[in-house]
Amino acid sequence: MMSSSSHPPGLPTDLTGRVIFVSGGGSAGPGWSIGRASCVTYARLGAKVCVVDRDPASAEETTRLILEEGGIAKTFVGDVSEQDQVKRLFNEARQQLGPIDVLHHNVGIGKVGGPMETSAEDFDHIHKVNVASLLLAAHEVLPEMLTRGKGNIIAISSVAGMRYLGYPHLAYSVTKAANTQFIRMIAQQYADKGIRANTVVPGLIDTPRIANTVAKMFSENGLDEARVARDRQVPMGRSGTAWEVAHACAFLVSDAASYITGTELVVDGGITGKYV
Which residues are catalytically annotated?
A: 172
CB 22 within 8 A of CB 47: no
- DSSP per position, 147-181: HHT-EEEEEE--GGGTS--SS-BHHHHHHHHHHHH
Going by the DSSP 8-state scheme, the letter that residue 18 receives in this structure is: -
Short-list 198, 148, 202, 129, CA closest to 19 = 148
Q: Select from 166, 77, 176 the least CA-distant residue to 114.
A: 166
Q: Number of helices and strands (H, E) in the chain?
A: 10, 7
Give the integer Cα–Cα distance in Å for 171 and 27: 21
Q: In sequence order, which ranges of the chain are alpha helices (DSSP H)?
A: 34-44, 56-68, 83-97, 120-127, 133-148, 170-190, 208-209, 223-233, 242-253, 271-274
Helix (H, G, I), strand (E, B) or coil at 216: helix
Q: Position 1: which residue type?
A: M
CA distance 261 to 152: 9
Cα–Cα distances in angstroms (integers) from residue 168 to residues 25, 83, 115, in the given order: 27, 30, 9
CA distance 88 to 103: 15
